[in-house]
Amino acid sequence: MNVIVFIKQVPGTTNVRMDPATGAMLRDPSDTVLNPLDEHAITEAAKIKDGQPGTVVTALTMGPPSAVKALQEACARGADQGVLLSHKAFAGSDTIATSRALAAAVRKLGPVDLILAGEKSIDGETGQVGPMTAAMLELPAVTFVRRLNLEGGRIRVQRLVEDGVEELAVTLPALVTVVRDINNPPLPSLRRYVMAKKMTFPVWGPEELGLKETDTGLKASPTRVVKVFSPKFARSTAIFRADGEAGLDASVQAVIDLLRTKEILKKGGA
Amino acid sequence: MEQNSNGIMVLAEVRGGAIHPVTREMVAWGRKLAGQFSRPVTCVIIGIDPDDPEDLIRYGADRVLSVNPGFTGNSPATPTAGLFVDVIREERPAIVIAPATTSGRTLMPIAAARLNTGLTADCTDLAIDPKDGLLLQTRPAIGGNVMATIKTPNTLPQMATVRPRSIRPLQPDSARRGQVLVKTYEMPDSWPEQLLSFIRDERKEINLEEAEIVVTGGKGMKTKENFALLEDLAAALGAGLGATRAAVEAGWAPFTRQVGLTGKTVAPKVYIAAGVSGKIQHLAGMITSETIIAVNEDPEAQMVKVADLAVIGDAPAVVEKLTKALIHLKNKRKGGA
């Protein structure tokens, strides 16, 4: 089987800054990790490989040259190889432009049986790139998956939806996005880390993907960030200081009084 | 798709073969955007035969479009998205919005990719730019530390998924009149996904999203043991118990309790935030609460600024004291009344 896993390098902390002029994310290039949900996707691919010898797992990412780190991490966790989509023409890609590049890379990699991806990244948090890429490749998009079993040319999956669990049988090829319930990613061995650190990966730009530069990046992105701001949600706040025993009592009484006004607590009483 | 496309299309949320109430919120957004422009608001229902389509007209829709009503209630994404694209192509709306639910977050990106247009995820606010009439799509960005407003300037339709509970439904108006239409599009003979079963989640615990009062704890609760104090407070109030992302990541609460952009969105009558700093990522999940009570050591915390009432002090100590006072009141009422 050919399994491709979409991965993303994300900031290691949530304290990323944004350039107020351009809306571009300002990242400290040294502080990055593999998107946590992608660890689950890679782990699932490795599980499939265990049950299906001869399976090749390819990690695919788009990002700056430093995203090689995320590919190495993916290989330490079970991917056999990786491909990096990196070129200045990709800069400023929104989810549509990113998906177009990923779809072109999947086509170039040859017939695929299964694409796995984390349900969303912790930085963008859109969850759009998986289903968009599936649509561009005319594959079914099976999202929010918490269990996956291979049954011949099909997969049987459980999708975690708001009010329960849907069970589906899906004919391959298909794209599956996973939620964290699906598995517990084990820590890779030191040996695998050492091996992965030595791996190198092909780097593809628009030319290798058969895309015009105008088909990628900001120019090919239908959405534009027009404003970035710190929101103002402020209400007029009644402030109580819980200093000392008296302050604490007065504060608690103020909360109880408000709960009464809102009829959360019955009126009257003490 | 330029000239005659000025309508606003709203995708109905279908769950368990019925229209989910979040659809009324989407219709309210549609109405708000239609605003001064007298644009028609069309609510599209895919795959089911709704019991009472006029309900959505009473809540603000001008047209209710039932697409392939006999098809299937809990349908897989491929055929549902196919019908969704068909109806968008025929109707040519300027704007398409859907709730940011598992269903909306699956169907919308598929449709946007097939229509080659832009899509913004998880918006908490929508507006029309008075200068050019384009949709302003606002969402928390980069881990919820700032808000970003996004436009789709050159392609149609402009698409957005919208957080449930980011608007309240309008008051129903039984005098409102509108059209109820049925559309049937051709469908393929088969598709790759087959729904085998659906197992409903029957857990009895208080549903955070529906709770009248929610108590949430953050890193300011300091330890897992302190965090457990919130369970007592929630029990004393009959409240749903929530947690911030930081508290979940610290292992103090399961992910199912997370309130915020990555977790659940709540809009209770009263929201009590104990030791919660109030990052935008969290605020996105609770800012529409009717009354907000913050308990925080830091008077400068964002949560204090958005609160109606703030107690400045050690969150675990205040929570413990408040719980004791509530239990005392309850016992007194039992004894006295």
Q: Which residue in B has a C-alpha nearest to residue A173's C-alpha?
A: B192
CA distance A88 to A37: 27
Helix, coil or strand: residue B335: helix
Classified as helix, coil or strand, B107 is helix
**Angle at Cα B37 formed by Cα B33 and Cα B41, nearest 5°?**
55
Taking the Cβ of residue A131 and every Cβ of chain B, the question of whether any pair is shorter than 8 Å is answered with yes
Of B121, B194, B304, the CB nearest to A126: B121
Could you tell me how many CB contacts below 8 A there are between chain A and chain B? 275
The nearest CA of chain B is from the CA of A20 a distance in Å of 10
Q: Is the CB of residue A2 less than 8 Å from the CB of residue A59? A: no
Contacts of A255 in chain B (CB under 8 A): 272, 293, 309, 311, 322
Mean per-residue pLDDT for B169-192? 94
CB contact under 8 A, B77 and A141: yes
C-beta of residue A128 within 8 angstroms of C-beta of residue B109:
yes
Q: What is the mean pLDDT of residues B15-31?
A: 94
pLDDT tens, position by position, B202-255 = 765 677 887 889 999 999 999 999 999 999 999 999 999 999 999 998 999 988
pLDDT of A200 over the 80 cut? yes
Residues of A in contact with B18 (CB under 8 A): none
Chain B partners within 8 Å of A11 (Cβ): 142-143
pLDDT computed for residue B145 by the predictor? 64
Residue carrying structure tokens 């990244």? A121
Evaluated on CA atoms A212, A228, A61, A166, the torsion sign reads negative
Q: Where in chain A is the domain with CATH 3.40.50.620?
A: 2-220
Q: Give the pLDDT mean for A231-242.
A: 84
The yes or no reply on domain A2-220 and CATH 3.30.1490.20 is no
Of B137, B197, B309, the CB nearest to A237: B309
Residue B291 CB-half CA count within 13 A: 17
The better pLDDT of the pair B169, A24 is held by: B169
Q: Where are the alpha helices (DSSP H) in B241-314?
A: 245-249, 280-283, 302-306
Beta-carbon count within 10 A of A243 CB: 12
Contact (Cβ atoms closer than 8 angstroms) between residue B10 and residue B43? yes
First to last CA, chain A: 71
Residue in A123, A163, A224 closest to B151 by CB: A224
Chain-chain contact of A140 with B192 (C-beta, under 8 angstroms): yes
What's the pTM value of the predicted model, to 2 decimals? 0.85
Rounded CA separation B83/B233 (Å): 48
Q: Output the CA–CA distances (angstroms, integers) from residue B71 to B50, B67, B68, B186, B192, in the order listed.
A: 12, 9, 6, 11, 16
Q: How far apart are CA A131 and CA B184, in angstroms?
A: 25
B51-90 residue pLDDT tens: 999 999 999 999 999 999 988 655 699 999 999 999 999 9
Q: Which of A170, A221, A258 sits opposite B193 (nearest CB)?
A: A170
A23 at interface of B, judged by CB pairs closer than 8 A = yes
Q: Does A238 reach chain B within 8 Å, measured CB to CB?
A: yes
